[in-house]
């Protein structure tokens, strides 16, 4: 894949911006989400892309656990945004763009998704490609691909200094654990 080659982007190598891994169970995907959730800070945006059943909600449930959310996290498909309060009053917004149609960006704007994405809350977006024009340039993109019944391939790609630091934190935590 082009972005995995060792091409320099300024002082950074593309490999510094990316992480690829495979999980062998839903539990493993949730544990990965938990590790990521523990590292998330106000203003971080995680953009999830992947087909139905790829594991976006599963990863988000792990992220919520890592953030300290105690309530059950279910997909907000019909209301689009679920909001949780975590430590220090920080908001965690779980946004699901699945039901947006071709006017989806306008609809998302109408309910203020752009404001959430630019806020000092923490945002995780399922079907993020459906609101691509609204995504801040700086974010962590995660592509999830169904391999087989129990296996998913995940590709992380960070844009912007804070999200590169986030991804590097995740890599470091995985080496330790």
Q: What is the distance between the alpha carbons of residues 11 and 43, in angstroms, rounded to a whole number?
A: 24
Applying the rule CB under 5 A, the residues between 116 and 135 that interact with Mg ion are 126
Which residues between 79 and 118 bind Mg ion (CB under 5 A)? Answer: none
d(CA 77, CA 126): 9
- Regarding 150 and contact with ligand ATP (CB under 6 A), the answer is yes
DSSP letter at 117 equals H
Instruction: Out of 17, 18, 56, 108, point to the residue binding ligand ATP (CB under 6 A).
Output: 56
- Residue 26 in the binding site for ligand ATP (CB under 6 A): yes
CB of 56 to ligand ATP, least distance (A): 3
SS3 call for 31 = helix
Give the residue closest to ligand ATP by C-beta.
55
Q: At what angle do helices 26-39 and 56-67 cross, to 10 degrees?
A: 40
Interface residue with ligand ATP among 17, 35, 44, 50 (CB under 6 A) is: 50
With CB under 6 A as the rule, give the number of residues binding ligand ATP: 19
Task: Mark 84-116 as b/e (b = at least 16 C-beta within 10 Å).
Answer: bebeeebebbbbbbeebeeebbebbeeeebbeb
Q: How far is the CB of 150 from ligand ATP (least distance, A)?
A: 4
Examine residue 29 and tell whether it contacts Mg ion (CB under 5 A): no
């Amino acid at each position: 894949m082009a972005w995995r080659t060792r091409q320099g982007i300024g002082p950074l190598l593309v490999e510094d911006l990316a992480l690829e891994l495979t999980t062998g169970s839903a539990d493993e995907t949730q544990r990965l989400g938990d590790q990521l959730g523990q590292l998330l800070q106000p203003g971080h945006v995680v953009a999830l892309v992947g087909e139905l059943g790829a594991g976006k909600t599963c990863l988000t449930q792990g992220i919520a656990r890592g953030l300290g959310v105690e309530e059950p996290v279910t997909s907000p498909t019909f209301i689009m945004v679920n909001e949780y309060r975590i430590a220090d009053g920080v908001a965690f917004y779980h946004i699901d763009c699945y039901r947006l149609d071709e006017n989806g960006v306008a609809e998302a704007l109408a309910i203020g998704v752009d404001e959430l994405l630019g806020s000092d809350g923490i945002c995780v977006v399922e079907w993020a490609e459906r609101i691509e024009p609204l995504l801040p340039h700086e974010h962590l993109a995660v592509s999830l691909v169904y391999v087989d019944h129990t296996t998913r391939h995940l590709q992380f790609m960070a844009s912007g200094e804070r999200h590169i630091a986030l991804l590097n934190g995740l890599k470091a935590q995985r080496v330790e654990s």
